[in-house]
C-alpha cells in the first residue's frame, strides 16, 4: 500500500520551499498482526504474568514500544535522506563592503548610519563559529540586545530540519523590485490612518494605487495590470481579494473557554508616527531607547485601519492569531471539520486526543515554534537582510546629497517621497512603533512564518469550502461590527487572508517588506507540511491522509 506525498519538484523564486521532490512513500509495513519480537511466547501469559499487568489492546507494551521506535526511526530517516538544498542569497553582502544592504541595527554606526565594520565583523564571526562565548563579545551601540541569534542553530525532533527548507532569493538593494517594496512601505505609512471602509472613495488611497502601478516589478495583486484601491496592500493568496480587507478571524467573537472574547483591541492614536527626525533615527539604529512612548487610544476598537492592524501585530503573542482562529473554527462544530476526519461518520465516537480539539490546538502551537526556528536560520545564517527603516536612512542621505548609494530611480521618482518630506522634513520611513523594528534581521518575517504554519495546520483539519456564517466588517470608527452582505466567505479564503493580514500588517507598521511576509508564509507552510508528514503514521484510526490547499492554490495530500 502506498501513500503519495506531493510537493513540487524544484524550489524557485516564484514558488516553493520544497521539502522534497514528489515522493511515493511506502506505508509502514509493521502491521498490528505482523509485529515480531524476540519472545513471542510472552503473549501466552502465565497466571503470574497476568496478575502483573491489566492492559488491553492489540499490542503488548513491548510490541507498542517496538512500533513507536520504528515510526520514529522512519520519520528521522526520511528527514535525514531529503536532499539538502542550496541556500542562495542576493549577493548584496559581498557587493557592498560597507554593508549598506545588510541588517546592522543595535551595532554602533557612524553619522551616515553605516555600521562600524569592526563591530560587524565580530558579529559575523560569532555567527560563523557558533561559539556561545563569542556572542557575549559583540560590541553594541546602545542598550538594546540582539534577539536570540543562537536560535538559528536550534534542532527540533519533529518536522523538517531548518537546513532542509530553502527560500527564494530576496530582491537586491538597487533593483526595481526593492524599489517597489520600499515605495509600498512609504505609502502604507502615509495612509495607515485611513479606515479600510473608506478605501474605495479616499483620494490618497487612489493616489497610492496609481503610484504603485508605475513600479515595473511590483509583486502585489493587480486588477487588469493595475493596482487599484481594491487590491492595494492586500496579499496574493486565493481569497485575499474577496470581501473585507480584514479576515473574519480577526473580527468575529472568539469562544474562549466559558466566555466569548470580543475582538476589540487597544490601538495607537491616529496620525502619530515615530523616528521621523534624523537624530532619533540614528539613536535607534545604534540600539538606544526611543525618546517617547507610543500614544495609545483610550477606546478599544475593532481592527478598521492599517494603524490598528500594525498595533495588533505589535502586541500579540507568537501564535495568538492562529489560536483565535482555531477556537473560532472549533466553535462552528463538526460541520466545519474536513471530510478526512475519521470521526465524522462514526456512530459511537468523537475525536479528542486525536482529531479533536485537544489535538488540533496542540498542532497549531507546535508548528509556531518550529516555524520560528526555520525563520531564524534564514534570518541570521543566510540572508541578514536590512530592515525598511534602515533603507529609509539610505534614501534620506542620498536625497540630501550626503551619499550616492545605488537606489533605484523608480523609488526616488515615487510620489510618496515628496509627501513624506513635506509632512516630516526628512525622507525617513515614518514608523508606527517608537522603537522601530526588532533587533533581528528582516528576511523572512517571524510573524509570517508562524501564521503560515498555523494556517496550514488549520487547513489540514477543517473544511476549506465551509462558508463562514454571519460575516461582519468593522465600522469606519472601529467601535462596532456591521453585517457583511457581499460574496460568501469560505474558511480557506479567510485563513489565507488571515495569513496575509498578519504578515503584511508588519509592513504597514514599517518593520518589514512584502517579500518578507509572502515568502515567510511559504516557509511556515513547508514546516507544517513536514510535521504532518511525520505524524501521519501515528494513528490507530482509519485515516487516509491530510488534504489541504497551499498558498499557491495547489491541492496536496499528505
Which distant-in-sequence residues (6+ apart) come within 8 Å of 283 by Cβ? 142, 291
Domain definitions of the chain by residue range: 22-81, 158-557
Give the CATH fold of the 158-557 domain.
Vanadium-containing Chloroperoxidase; domain 2 (1.10.606)
Model pLDDT, residue 526: 97
Which distant-in-sequence residues (6+ apart) come within 8 Å of 498 by Cβ? 247, 249, 250, 321, 322, 325, 451, 455
Q: What is the pLDDT along the chain (558 residues), one digit of tens a residue?
A: 223 344 433 344 333 433 333 333 333 433 444 444 344 334 444 444 445 778 899 999 999 999 999 999 999 999 899 999 999 999 999 999 999 999 999 999 999 999 999 999 999 999 999 999 999 999 999 999 999 999 999 999 899 999 999 999 999 999 999 999 999 999 999 999 999 999 999 999 999 999 999 999 999 999 999 999 999 999 999 999 999 999 999 999 999 999 999 999 999 998 899 999 999 999 999 999 999 999 999 999 999 999 999 999 999 999 999 999 999 999 999 999 999 999 999 999 999 999 999 999 999 999 999 999 999 999 999 999 999 999 999 999 999 999 999 999 999 999 999 999 999 999 999 999 999 999 999 999 999 999 999 999 999 999 999 999 999 999 999 999 999 999 999 999 999 999 999 999 999 999 999 999 999 999 999 999 999 999 998 999 999 999 999 999 999 999
User: 3-state class of 398 per DSSP?
Assistant: helix
- Give the DSSP H/E element, type plus range, for residue 25: strand 23-26
Taking a C-beta distance cutoff of 8 angstroms, is the pair 311, 432 a contact? yes
- Neighbour tally for 65: CB within 10 Å: 12
Q: Rounded distance, CA 203 to CA 210, Å?
A: 11
Question: Looking at residue 113, what DSSP letter applies?
Answer: S
Which distant-in-sequence residues (6+ apart) come within 8 Å of 184 by Cβ? 212, 218, 220, 233, 507, 514
Amino acid at each position: 500500500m502506498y501513500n503519495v506525498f506531493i510537493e513540487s519538484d524544484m524550489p524557485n523564486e516564484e514558488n516553493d520551499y520544497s521539502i522534497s521532490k514528489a515522493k511515493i512513500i511506502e506505508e509502514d509495513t509493521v502491521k498490528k498482526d505482523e509485529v515480531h519480537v524476540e519472545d513471542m511466547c510472552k503473549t501466552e501469559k502465565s497466571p503470574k504474568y497476568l496478575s502483573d499487568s491489566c492492559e488491553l489492546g492489540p499490542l503488548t507494551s513491548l510490541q507498542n514500544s517496538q512500533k513507536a521506535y520504528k515510526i520514529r526511526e522512519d520519520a528521522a530517516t526520511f528527514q535525514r535522506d531529503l536532499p539538502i538544498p542550496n541556500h542562495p542569497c542576493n549577493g548584496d553582502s559581498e557587493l557592498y563592503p560597507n554593508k549598506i544592504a545588510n541588517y546592522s541595527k543595535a551595532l554602533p554606526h557612524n553619522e551616515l548610519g553605516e555600521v562600524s565594520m569592526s563591530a560587524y565583523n565580530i558579529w559575523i564571526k560569532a555567527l560563523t563559529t557558533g561559539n556561545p562565548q563569542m556572542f557575549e563579545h559583540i560590541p553594541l551601540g546602545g542598550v538594546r540586545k540582539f534577539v536570540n541569534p543562537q536560535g538559528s542553530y536550534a534542532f527540533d525532533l519533529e518536522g523538517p530540519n531548518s537546513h532542509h527548507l530553502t527560500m527564494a532569493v530576496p530582491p537586491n538593494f538597487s533593483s526595481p523590485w526593492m524599489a517597489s517594496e520600499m515605495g509600498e512601505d512609504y505609502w502604507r505609512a502615509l495612509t495607515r490612518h485611513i479606515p479600510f471602509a473608506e478605501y474605495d472613495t479616499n483620494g490618497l488611497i487612489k493616489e497610492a494605487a496609481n503610484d504603485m502601478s508605475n513600479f515595473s516589478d511590483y509583486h502585489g495583486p493587480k486588477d487588469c495590470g493595475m493596482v487599484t484601491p481594491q487590491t492595494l496592500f492586500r496579499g496574493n493568496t486565493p481569497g485575499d481579494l474577496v470581501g473585507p480587507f480584514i479576515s473574519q478571524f480577526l473580527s468575529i467573537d472568539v469562544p474562549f473557554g466559558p466566555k466569548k472574547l470580543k475582538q476589540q483591541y487597544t490601538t495607537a492614536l491616529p496620525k502619530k508616527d515615530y523616528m521621523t527626525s534624523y537624530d532619533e533615527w540614528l539613536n535607534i539604529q545604534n540600539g538606544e531607547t526611543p525618546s517617547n512612548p507610543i500614544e495609545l487610544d483610550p477606546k478599544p476598537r475593532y481592527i478598521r485601519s492599517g494603524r490598528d492592524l500594525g498595533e495588533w501585530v505589535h502586541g500579540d503573542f507568537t501564535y495568538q492569531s492562529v489560536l483565535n482562529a482555531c477556537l473560532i473554527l472549533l466553535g462552528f462544530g463538526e460541520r466545519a471539520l474536513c471530510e478526512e476526519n475519521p470521526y465524522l461518520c462514526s456512530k459511537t465516537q468523537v475525536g479528542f486526543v486525536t482529531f479533536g480539539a485537544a489535538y488540533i490546538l496542540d498542532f497549531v502551537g507546535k508548528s509556531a515554534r518550529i516555524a520560528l526556528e526555520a525563520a531564524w536560520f534564514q534570518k541570521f545564517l543566510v540572508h541578514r537582510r536590512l530592515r525598511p527603516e534602515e533603507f529609509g536612512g539610505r534614501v534620506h542621505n542620498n536625497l540630501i546629497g550626503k551619499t550616492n548609494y545605488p537606489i533605484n530611480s523608480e523609488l526616488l521618482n515615487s510620489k510618496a517621497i515628496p509627501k513624506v518630506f513635506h509632512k516630516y522634513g526628512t525622507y525617513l520611513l515614518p514608523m508606527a512603533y517608537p522603537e522601530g523594528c526588532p533587533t533581528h534581521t528582516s528576511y523572512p518575517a517571524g510573524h509570517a512564518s508562524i501564521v503560515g504554519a498555523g494556517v496550514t495546520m488549520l487547513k489540514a483539519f477543517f473544511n476549506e469550502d465551509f462558508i463562514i456564517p454571519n460575516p461582519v466588517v468593522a465600522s469606519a470608527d472601529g467601535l462596532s461590527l456591521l453585517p457583511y452582505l457581499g460574496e460568501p466567505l469560505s474558511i480557506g479564503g479567510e485563513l489565507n487572508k488571515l495569513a496575509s493580514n498578519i504578515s503584511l500588517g508588519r509592513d504597514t507598521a514599517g518593520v518589514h517588506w512584502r517579500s518578507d511576509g509572502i515568502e515567510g508564509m511559504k516557509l511556515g507552510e513547508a514546516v507544517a507540511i513536514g510535521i504532518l508528514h511525520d505524524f501521519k503514521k501515528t494513528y490507530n484510526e482509519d485515516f487516509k491522509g491530510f488534504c489541504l490547499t497551499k498558498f499557491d492554490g495547489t491541492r496536496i495530500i499528505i
